[in-house]
């Protein structure tokens, strides 16, 4: 998904510096939080990339299948650097599911098929978040599982459930930002007139710079955090409206 024009050595250096700085400032509680976030990160990135590959395959491109991406094995889908970024910086990526648009069947135009494949990842994240919202509601309302745990373990259980919801929503929202190299750029591109689409494509490097500025400043968190809160609350309200009457 991500290619900023940096070589891998430069990215590794950036990641190491960020990791060292984070470890120095996070403390024990911060490190423990990362350990607890690991399952949510694995779920979010794995299902996101699987969805890209699966939808591309269903549209006629066998490239993801040939590369072994049509499974839920996290090892197949995680990019080590992107995973560290997600944990340390709150924004990251998985190993891109490679596709070949020339293989898509003729039912859709190439731009439409690419938009569908791009949208599949964020959509999967929202589906996972909604399913875990339902699961959390059922566990808390209809079972004594969490109540039977000691205080610290109650916190861990609730944190694990909530982190899956939050990270999946965050990853979905983040990837729908309509700037290269994010999925939202391909969705937007499909709806642009031909000349605008060509201009958008020819100026991707400029938009990548804009994306980096947004990423490296509080703008990203100021946009994504309220979106996460709003969507999470909306999902909670919907689940309560559906299941709360029973």
Give the percent of the chain with pLDDT over 90. 39
Report the alpha-carbon angle 126-63-205, nearest 5.
70
Alpha helices in the chain (DSSP H): 8-58, 63-66, 74-77, 80-89, 110-142, 151-175, 183-191, 194-202, 204-215, 219-243
Predicted confidence band of residue 57 (pLDDT cuts 50, 70, 90)? very high
The rounded distance, in Å, linking the Cα atoms of 41 and 78 is 10
The rounded distance, in Å, linking the Cα atoms of 246 and 243 is 6
Per-domain boundaries in the chain: 8-243
- Residue of 49, 79, 114, 183 marked catalytic: 49
pTM of the model: 0.83
Predicted confidence band of residue 166 (pLDDT cuts 50, 70, 90)? very high
The rounded distance, in Å, linking the Cα atoms of 74 and 181 is 22
The rounded distance, in Å, linking the Cα atoms of 12 and 80 is 10
* Active site (annotated) includes residue 49: yes
Tens digit of each residue's pLDDT (9 = 90 or more) over 8-32: 666 667 666 766 666 666 666 666 7
What DSSP string describes 197-246?
Answer: HHHHHHTHHHHHHHHHHHHTSTHHHHHHHHHHHHHHHHHHHHHHHHHTT-
Tens digit of each residue's pLDDT (9 = 90 or more) over 107-163: 889 999 999 999 999 999 999 999 999 999 888 877 766 666 666 777 788 888 999
The rounded distance, in Å, linking the Cα atoms of 47 and 122 is 9
């Amino acid at each position: 998904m991500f290619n900023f024009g940096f070589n891998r050595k430069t990215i590794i250096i950036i990641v190491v510096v960020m990791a060292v700085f984070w470890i120095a400032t996070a403390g024990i509680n911060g490190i423990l939080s990362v350990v607890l976030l690991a399952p949510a990160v694995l779920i979010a990135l794995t299902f996101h990339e699987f969805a890209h590959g699966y939808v591309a395959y269903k549209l006629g491109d066998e490239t993801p299948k040939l590369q072994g991406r049509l499974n839920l094995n996290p090892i197949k889908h995680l990019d080590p650097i992107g995973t560290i970024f997600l944990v340390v910086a709150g924004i990251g990526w998985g190993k891109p599911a490679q596709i070949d648009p020339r293989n898509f069947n003729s039912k859709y135009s190439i731009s439409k098929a690419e938009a569908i494949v791009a949208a599949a990842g964020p959509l999967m994240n929202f589906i996972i978040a909604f399913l875990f919202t339902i699961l959390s509601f059922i566990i808390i309302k209809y079972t004594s599982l969490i109540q039977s745990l000691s205080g610290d373990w109650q916190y861990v259980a609730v944190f694990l459930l909530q982190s899956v919801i939050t990270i999946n929503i965050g990853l979905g929202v983040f990837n729908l930002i309509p700037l290269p190299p994010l999925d939202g750029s391909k969705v937007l591109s499909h709806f642009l007139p031909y000349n605008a689409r060509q201009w958008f494509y020819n100026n991707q490097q400029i938009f990548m710079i804009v994306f980096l500025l947004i990423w490296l400043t509080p703008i990203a968190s100021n946009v994504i955090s309220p979106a996460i809160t709003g969507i999470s609350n909306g999902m909670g309200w919907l689940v309560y409206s559906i299941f709360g009457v029973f």
